[in-house]
Chain A
Amino acid sequence: QKEVEQNSGPLSVPEGAIASLNCTYSDRGSQSFFWYRQYSGKSPELIMFIYSNGDKEDGRFTAQLNKASQYVSLLIRDSQPSDSATYLCAVTGGGSNYKLTFGKGTLLTVNP
């Protein structure tokens, strides 16, 4: 069983729509959850992190965490073409607060 799974994509949405990215994880001891954005050929860039159950909003981004279901998601409202990138879900836990376990990523394309 894969440790972190993301919807495989690619995901395509029209400009202005809501993009929904999903992630499940297998380790119930996972403590921190991160969403990174990676443009082609560039470094992963942290855009959201969440530690507690519920929603966390930052501008157009909302991260949602449900530890009972071992599920974390990222919603991007009013999607823009500049949001087109690969989104990586990552978690820490199991005794380590520094070692990230990543999913494979979901490629998002926002069409003008």
Chain B
Amino acid sequence: EAGVTQFPSHSVIEKGQTVTLRCDPISGHDNLYWYRRVMGKEIKFLLHFVKESKQDESGMPNNRFLAERTGGTYSTLKVQPAELEDSGVYFCASSQDLDPFGYTFGSGTRLTVV
């Protein structure tokens, strides 16, 4: 079974530019989550999809962040315009059931805004 795939693995962009991160969950997993780790801080929840619907986006930091999940399959997280404080590692996870026991995390995308 393929795991959760995220790409790119690394991205370096200039302040003010736009970046789009992509996550491909495990096939058949209805639940998809985005988390972020800013340097020196803990991993924090951003949002949760069930299929194509956003169930909880309480962790999204501001309206510069837009997450979508087309057709309930892969998800994208767009940051526009990027700011320096957006630098960090963005993790995606997926699960079949609504229970963290079933979480499978991707390896993350390291975003650096310069």
Contacts and interface: CB of A to CB of B under 8 A. Distances in A.
A98 B98 contact: yes
Contact of A101 (B31, B45, B48, B107): B45
A28 interface: no
A104 to B, nearest CB: 5
B48 A43 contact: no
B107 to A, nearest CB: 5
Contacts, number: 56
Interface string B76-102: 000000000000000100010011110
Interface residues of B, number: 26
Contact of B107 (A43, A96, A103): A43
A43 B42 contact: no
User: Which secondary structure dominates chain A's binding surface?
Assistant: strand
Nearest to B92: A43
Given A42-B107, A43-B91, A102 B43 contact: yes
Given A43-B4, A44-B91, A46-B101, A100 B45 contact: yes
Contacts of A92: 100
B105 interface: yes
Interface residues of A, number: 23
Contacts of B103: 46, 100
A102 B44 contact: yes
A97 interface: yes
B56 interface: yes
Contacts of A101: 45
The 10 closest A-B CB pairs, nearest first, are: A43-B105, A102-B43, A102-B42, A104-B42, A43-B107, A44-B105, A99-B45, A98-B98, A100-B100, A43-B106
Given A41-B107, A49-B101, A100-B35, 16 more contacts: A32-B100, A32-B101, A43-B4, A44-B43, A44-B91, A44-B105, A88-B43, A97-B99, A98-B98, A98-B99, A100-B100, A101-B45, A102-B43, A102-B44, A103-B42, A104-B41
